[in-house]
Amino acid sequence: MITSNPFAELSALIPPAVMQAYVVLMILLVIGGTLLDVIHKQSAKYFVQRGQSLKKLAKREVNIVEKSGIAVSTLANEVLASGEFDNPDRRKSHLLMMYGFVIFVVTTALMIFGLPAAEGDGWLLLPLLWHIGALMICVGGYWFWLKIRVDVRSEGHQWYEVERRDLFIVSLLLTATFALVWSLLQALGGGVLAGIALVVFIVAATTLFSSVFWSKFAHMFYKPAAAFQKRMAKADGSRDKLPELPELTDPVVRERYPDIPEYMGDNPPYMGLGIKRETPTHY
């Protein structure tokens, strides 16, 4: 099973050209969804403005050699090793899903675009990696969902309740799970159950790649930029803080915000003042 290309047998039902067109369409949907996300949330504008603000606070100039070192360090730590996660279990779960996703997607494209040639002994490695990638996603994803995920019960919800913010992880898990189920059932002889698993696999994958604008998929493209900017701010000595806010008892503030009580308990002073924090909505 794990060394056979599941798409090779599927090509008897669905022409390779159709499968290849589907892969291209998913790539275009990811690109389009990411661009829409950037435009809607003004992420690029935010990073530029934030960079300019931090540059004014810089205490020293960072040369090109140091910038290159920071870029490499960011790639090695935050991107490749997910060093931003303090929780070791969360980090391991994320790494399993991330590398499993990369392996799964790349091998899927290679096997589909390699049809009909991707059927001989020389192609055994790709199906093996494809199954391993899907399994890594499942292990990391279910570990996160059932053990590491935020305790939603404390918020009055059950673990099985799904919100829009869960769209990415749910569609990813369904894609990997039913890819494995479909491959297993197909190896056992196919039939109706294999067809159902294939349909769920395709629907879940389509949802995963077409819902970038509404899910956290695009977040993976922002993280490297944010991590690099944070390291640059540390290197040049600038500070990334909220602006100093005036006292609520200040007459000018009272005149501008007459409906705000002078004492707001434990709430931060910027809450309710109409002051927007300079933080993008994808964080």
Query: How many CB atoms are located within 10 Å of the residue 78 CB?
Result: 19
The letter for the amino acid at 246 is: P
Within a domain: residue 254? Answer: no
Kindly report the backbone phi and psi dihedral angles of residue 243, in degrees, each rounded to the nearest multiple of 5, phi listed first.
Answer: -65, 150
Determine the 3-state secondary structure of 58 from DSSP.
Answer: coil
Within a domain: residue 250? Answer: no
Which residues fall within 8 angstroms of residue 166, CB to CB, at 6 or more apart?
Answer: none
Within a domain: residue 281? Answer: no
Do 228 and 221 form a contact (C-beta atoms < 8 A)?
no
Within a domain: residue 220? Answer: yes
Its domain, for residue 35, covers 6-236
What integer pLDDT is reported at residue 202 of this predicted model? 96
What integer pLDDT is reported at residue 275 of this predicted model? 39
For residue 34 the two structure tokens come to 């990411």
Tens digit of pLDDT at every position of the chain (283 positions): 677 888 988 888 899 999 999 999 999 999 998 888 777 766 666 666 777 777 777 777 888 888 888 888 888 887 788 777 777 888 899 899 999 999 999 999 999 998 776 555 556 789 999 999 999 999 999 988 887 776 555 556 665 666 777 888 899 999 999 999 999 999 888 789 999 999 999 999 999 999 888 777 666 767 777 777 788 877 777 754 445 445 555 444 555 555 554 434 333 433 333 433 333 333 3
What integer pLDDT is reported at residue 280 of this predicted model? 38
Within a domain: residue 93? Answer: yes
Query: How many CB atoms are located within 10 Å of the residue 121 CB?
Result: 6
Within a domain: residue 210? Answer: yes
What integer pLDDT is reported at residue 159 of this predicted model? 59
Do 70 and 78 form a contact (C-beta atoms < 8 A)?
no
What integer pLDDT is reported at residue 9 of this predicted model? 85
d(CA 123, CA 147): 37
Within a domain: residue 278? Answer: no
Q: Count helices and strands (H / E) in the chain.
A: 10, 0
Number of domains into which the chain is organized: 1
Within a domain: residue 245? Answer: no
pTM above 0.85, yes or no: no
